[in-house]
Structure 1
Amino acid sequence: MARRASGGAGGRGAVKAARRPEVRLPALEEYGGGALSPDGDYDGLEFRDADFAGQDGAGARFMDCALRGCALDDTSLRHARLLDSVLTGVRGVGTDLAESTLRDVELADARLGGTQLHGAVLERVWIRGGKIDYLNLRKAKLRDVVFEGCVLVEPDFAGARLERVEFLDCALKGVDLSAVTLTDVDLRGAAPLEIAAGVDRLAGAVISTGQLLDLAPVLAAELGLRVEG
């Protein structure tokens, strides 16, 4: 089972730090192979280099599992529950995790594109390394989530609620923050920080002085402010 870590990088300022998961897996049994099953129940299993492309695991529950090097192209995991689990080196385009639940999950070195997580709930999730293109988190709920050392290209947070979310040594390119609600969101570690939409929704976030200067033209445009030399 995962042991909950108490968050706290003390020198990060007044913003509350996210609590990270510390997933300590039991001795795992090797997955016997075969296709995923809708509403399947997977407990204490290791999935290594499995190809789940195009398979239907909607509604499945993964508890105390490890997925390593698995292919998830067009895999349906809608309404799935990933609990106290580790995903390492997973890859795929069009993975459907809409309205799923991720709790006490570590995702490392992923290579994903067009992943659907709209309406999902992420709690105590640590995403580190890798690259995720066109991540759809519209209307999702994120609490105690850390993005570290990863590249996010055109992630969509429109309408989402983020509470105690940190971006550390990340690239945020073309992020959509339209109608987002932010509480204790630390963006200081995002470089670059490129906001395509929703710059008016930054209340509840903290940025650095340098980021403020970089965002000045976008903020001026949002305010209708003319800047002339």
Structure 2
Amino acid sequence: MKAARRPEVRLPALEAYGGGGLEPDGDYDGLDIRDEDFTGADGAGARFMDCALTGCALDEADLPHARILDSVLTAPRGVGTNLAESTLRDVEVRDARLGGTQLHGAVLERVVFRGGKIDYLNLRKAKLRDVVFEGCVLAEPDFGGALLERVEFVDCTLKAVDLTAAVLKDVDLRGAASLEIARGVDRLSGAVISTAQLLDLAPVLAGELGIRVED
């Protein structure tokens, strides 16, 4: 089992963001962006490099194909944020409060999600490499068709996970505080779980294998 490589984000001296909203294909470099309301903003293809985004509202923000690099997102909040087919590399996401975030087809490399709660996270057909979910709640995350390599779940609550057609390699689930798999339990090959988790998953595994359990 290979451990995930965590990002080492070292932000330079940042320049205060001057406002003005997001723009398609916008270039945001070395900015301190605080408490901005990006509700409904169109930032398709935007690039964030060496940025700190703190307390920003992202409801229905449209950011497909965005690139978020060497950045820290603290307390982002919003429903329906569209980050489809985006790239997150060397990123820390802290205390997120998000719902229905679209990251399908995205590429996540050396990313840590620490704290917070994310409902209905869509990671279908995404590629996750060296990603850590730590101390957070993931309710009904969808990893359908995704590739997970060196991914760790530490002190997380995982509710109704969908692993349909996912491919797992060096995925460590032992640290999950709670593990509930709704679909795709057959895709756990390539993951490691604890004995206690195996016992909890036994009814689901028996059902998947067509085993009748009777006393």
The CA deviation at 1:191 is: 2.3
> What is the aligned counterpart of 2:120 among 130, 134, 150?
134
Tell me, which stretches of 5 or more residues in structure 2 are unaligned?
none
User: Residues of 1 paired with 2:21 and 2:73: CA distance?
Assistant: 18
Correspondence for 2:25 among 39, 55, 61: 39
- Residue 149 (structure 1) aligns with: 135
Equivalent in 57, 80, 84 of residue 94 of structure 1? 80
Output the CA distance in 2 between the equivalents of 1:212 and 1:110: 29
d(CA) in 1 for partners of 2:53, 2:39: 14
When normalised by structure 1's length, the TM-score is 0.93
Taking structure 2 as the reference length, the TM-score comes to 0.99
1:22 is displaced (CA, Å) by 1.1
Whole-angstrom CA distance in 1 between matches of 2:52 and 2:63: 16
Number of residues of Structure 1 aligned to a counterpart in Structure 2:
215
Percent of matched pairs sharing the same residue = 82
What's the CA shift for 1:164? Answer: 0.1
Q: Which residue of 2 aligns with 1:114?
A: 100
Shift in Å at residue 90 of structure 1? 0.6
Shift of 1:222: 0.4
User: What residue in structure 2 maps to residue 80 of structure 1?
Assistant: 66
Q: CA RMSD in A?
A: 0.4
Q: Segments of 4+ in structure 1 off by > 2 A?
A: none
In the alignment, residue 217 of structure 1 is paired with which amino acid?
P
Alpha-carbon distance in 1 for matches of 2:138, 2:38: 24
Structure 1 residue 182 corresponds to structure 2 residue 189:
no
The equivalent residue for 2:150 is: 164
Distance (whole Å) between structure 1 residues aligned to residue 24 and residue 3 of structure 2 = 36
Q: Which amino acid aligns with 2:18?
A: G
Alignment of 1:63-74 (within 5 A): 63-74=49-60
SS in 2 for 1:139: coil
